[in-house]
Structure 1
Amino acid sequence: MPDVMTTLPGLVARVTRHPADEITADSPFTGLGRWGSLVAVRLLATVEQAYGVRLDLRHYLTIRTVGELADEIDRRLETRATPAG
Structure 2
Amino acid sequence: MSEQPVPALMDTLRPLVARVAHHPVEQLTAQTRFASLGRWGSLAAMRLLATVEQTYGVQLDLRAYMRLATVGELAAEIDRLRTPDARPEPAAPAPAG
Whichever residue aligns with residue 26 of structure 1, its letter is Q
Q: Which residue number in structure 2 is paired with residue 52 of structure 1?
A: 57
Partner Cα distance (2:61, 2:84) in 1:
16
Deviation at 1:79, TM superposition (A): 2.2
Q: TM-score, normalised by structure 2?
A: 0.79
Q: 1:30-61 deviations in whole A, cap 9, x for unaligned?
A: 00121000000000001001100110110100
Identity level (%)? 59
- Number of residue pairs aligned between Structure 1 and Structure 2: 83
Structure 2: gaps spanning 5 or more residues: 1-6, 90-97
Q: Which residue number in structure 1 is paired with residue 22 of structure 2?
A: 17
Partner Cα distance (2:52, 2:83) in 1:
15
Partner Cα distance (1:68, 1:50) in 2:
17
1:28 pairs with 2:39: no
Deviation at 1:66, TM superposition (A): 0.1
More helix by share: 1
Q: TM-score, normalised by structure 1?
A: 0.89
The structure that has the greater radius of gyration is 2
